[in-house]
Amino acid sequence: MRSSGLWRRVQSAPWSARDSVARRGFWSVLFVLALGAVFASVALTSQVSLQAGQASPTTITAPRDFVDQPDTANQRAAAAARVAPVYRIDTGLLQQSLAGFDSALAAVNGARQATGLTTAERQIALSAQLPPGIPVQDQNAVLTTDAETLAASAAAARADLNAALQAGIRPSDLPAARASLAAEVQRLGNPPAVDDFFARLVGGTLVADDLEDTAATAQAQQAAANAVSPVVIVTGQVIVRQGDIVTAKDLTLLRAAGLLRVEGTATLALGALAASAVLWGLASAFLRLHDREVLLRERAMVLFGMIVLVSVALERALLPLSPYLVPAGAGTILFAVAFGGGTAVFAAALLAAAAGVLTHSASVALSVLAGGLIAAFSAGTLHQRRDLVRAGLYAGVAAAAAVGALALVYGGSSTEGQNLASDALSAAVSGVLAGVLAVGCLTYIEDIFGILTPVRLLELGNPNQPLLRRLVVEAPGTYHHSLMVGNLAEAAVQAVGGNALLVRIGALYHDVGKLKRPYFFIENQLGGSNPHDHLSPNLSALVIISHTKDGVELARESHLPQEIIEFIRTHHGTQLVSYFYERARSSADGAEVSEANFRYPGPLPTTVEQAALMLADGVEAAVRAARTPSSGEIESIVRRLVKDRLDTGQLDRAPITLRDVDTITVTFVRMLQSAYHARVEYPEQVVQEFRPARRRAGA
């Protein structure tokens, strides 16, 4: 193959260990280092190391939209400061003030009604129950005034006190409120000493009942702050100009934009290596659980790592243009073609995570994930190379839709939705690039890594392929036999869950070795003389057995994939060419005949597909040799031949169960009975009656 030479040079390089496990470890370390270098390059090339008070060596602009947190915080704090405190009247304090007035009035009435005491003694008893600061003459006045005057003055004073409390008195206004209320009471028109008593009494019991509601005030301030829109630094806006002195605020903005190198280069490198090691570790864990063959086959593991590495490096290269312009769908398509849909779905998540690491953007990661998943699903139904472009287009549409959906989620004021049109367009263009790149890379992947993709298999099945064209022209019987074998093997492998396309293409090429001597094989003799009639049994057996070796040589000259060559090598296993062996024994006059000279060299089939092809090749030839066998004879031939292959150990190395063998046998019987059923013999009278009808119909 064209790929084998390059791959052998890679394996024989002086730095490459001979041991397969060590080589795989080497490749893993290499990929981790390479991915880490790509991740670190984003920070190293975009971040700067500055300190407050230092002159900026260059003009620094915003690489993306982000919120100016310092200005936003200042504007919101100013809006909150403009909110007036919220006050509420404390009804408990109001009632407490009125109760104090009522208690003092009750003490006055009690002292007035006390018997056996002089006025001076009543005044002394009353003084102990009144607020301080009421003169003795005012107390004597309320003790000696008439009851009607006292009651009228008390009622008026209480009403004024209640009105003042109901209006609300803030702590800062309490002194003025007391003076105003005292003046109001003193204007009641009663004896001056009585009015003065009640003026002093209401002043002593009046309290501030209109207090600030701190919870309501804080809520109002928060609402005012939230109403202030964030201050957004847009992409391309200058943060620091060259020569400007860097301030603390500038450092905050640079840090928010991801442009300030906080840690040293060594720490940055360790962080990048840690991120790449996590991604490669996740990939290894997935492959170990779901696709272990990729880890065990060095070529497959290297291809897996190369697709990841090239995809991430390409995204890094396109990052200055647009983070959404990354054609990650190309990598996912190649994963789907080379490793299958399940691995491609995981790879889509892996590449999306890498995009998030590179861009620090969840929306970019989600758009890459959406496009990658659609590409993985679309690439699972490939029939030709242009289907790769179609898968890329679908991926672009999905990525653009994801960008639009995220913009709607974030809303109009979101920094993520500021450049919706350009971001969506970039995501759509990335799909086109993904399809084109996948088509361009697929051929090199097939050649260098020896990966046999469905697209390559379909191309190999084209009858215009040189070897197949030679079979049609030079060995038509062999070509027809190969088609029949392919149909049988394909149906059988489908029934047991193998790669039906692979075995069908393998069947087309399994007998290409007969091109060297086509007329030595009975299907190409077309009723002519048999060359074996003039050869010794040993020479005839040598010619027959050589067609596998000749086929391998022709296949390698035509650069056929190794998987197809294995069908050529294994389709006869180590079977005995029994016809010529028996001829040799019968003509040996009792001399010993070496059986080894009449056996195919092998090797034995090692896959379900190779085993199915061996069985299909044998049963097709055996049933065809029986001319017009009945349905029962076909089943008997098939079961006898399959049993022979089992008994002689031809299937010992193939991962095939007895249930699979039975399923394959039943499939062969059904298809061969349909193809080689015996025709009904019509009576001569019916034939004679049918001929005039054909003539009348113009037949």
More confident residue, 65 or 603: 603
* pLDDT confidence of residue 412: 43
CATH entry, 464-675, from 1.10.1660, 3.40.50, 1.10.10, 1.10.3210: 1.10.3210
Residue 186 has pLDDT above 60, yes or no: yes
| Angle, CA 598 vertex, CA 597 and CA 599 arms, to 5° | 100
For residue 273, how many other CB atoms are within 10 A of its CB?
A: 17
Q: Is a pLDDT exceeding 80 seen at residue 688?
A: no
Q: Residue 276: in which H helix or E strand, if any? A: helix 265-290
Nearest to 104 by CA among 25, 204, 4, 26: 204
DSSP 48: B
Burial group, residue 227, by CB count within 10 angstroms (0-12, 13-18, 19+): exposed
The CA distance from 28 to 295, in Å, is 10
Residues 275, 40: Cα–Cα separation, whole Å:
10
Of 219, 213, 221, which Cα lies nearest the Cα of 87? 213
**First vs last Cα of the chain: how many Å apart?**
54
Query: And the tokens for 458?
Result: 């379909």
> What pLDDT sits at residue 413?
35
| Rounded Cα–Cα distance for residues 63 and 419 (Å) | 13
Question: What is the total residue count of the chain?
Answer: 699
Contact 406, 367 (CB under 8 A): yes
Strand partners, 60: 240
Domain boundaries, given as residue ranges, for the chain? 87-212, 288-456, 464-675
Q: Dump the DSSP string for 126-184.
A: HHTTS-TT--HHHHHHHHHS-HHHHHHHHHHHHHHHHHHHHH---GGGHHHHHHHHHHH
**Confidence (pLDDT) at 416:** 44
Residue 692 confidence (pLDDT) above 60? no
- The predicted-structure confidence for 58-77, as pLDDT tens digits, reads as follows 776 776 667 777 888 888 88
Burial class (CB in 10 A: 0-12, 13-18, 19+), 14: exposed
Are 578 and 641 in contact by the 8 Å Cβ rule? The answer is no
User: Which residues, in sequence order, are bridge partners of residue 67?
Assistant: 232
Mean of the pLDDT values across residues 137-150? Answer: 80
Q: What is the mean pLDDT of the chain?
A: 81
Task: Kindly state the tokens that stand for 477.
Answer: 């019987």
- pLDDT band of residue 491 (cuts 50, 70, 90) is very high
The beta-strand segments (E) located in 344-449 are none
C-alpha dist (Å) from residue 71 to 229, 415, 529, 697: 11, 16, 100, 96
Highest mean pLDDT among 236-250, 606-620, 681-695: 606-620
In percent, how much of the chain has pLDDT > 90? 23
Residue 233 pLDDT more than 50?
Answer: yes
Share above pLDDT 70 across residues of the chain, in percent, rounded to a whole number: 85
Q: Residue 6 is inside which H or E element, if any?
A: helix 2-11
Give pLDDT tens digits for 382-408. Answer: 666 777 788 888 888 888 888 888 777
Pairing mode of beta strands 66-67, 87-89: unpaired
* Continuous segment of H or E residues that includes residue 501: helix 500-509
Contact by Cβ (8 Å): 474, 515? yes
As a whole number of angstroms, the distance between CA 427 and CA 367 comes to 8
Cβ atoms 37, 272 nearer than 8 A: yes
Task: Answer for the pair 657, 605: CB distance below 8 angstroms, yes or no.
Answer: no
Quote the pLDDT of residue 653. 95
Q: Assign residue 363 a region (left: φ > 0; alpha: ψ between -120 and 50; beta: otherwise).
A: alpha
Which tens digits make up the pLDDT trace of 557-579?
Answer: 998 998 999 999 999 999 999 88
The alpha carbon of 479 is separated from its chain's Cα centroid by a whole number of angstroms, namely 46
Question: Does the pLDDT value for residue 490 go beyond 90?
Answer: yes
Residue 694: half-sphere exposure toward Cβ, Cα within 13 Å: 7
Residue with tokens 């059986």: 595
Q: What is the CATH number of domain 288-456?
A: 1.10.1760.20
Q: Answer whether residue 697 shows pLDDT above 50.
A: no
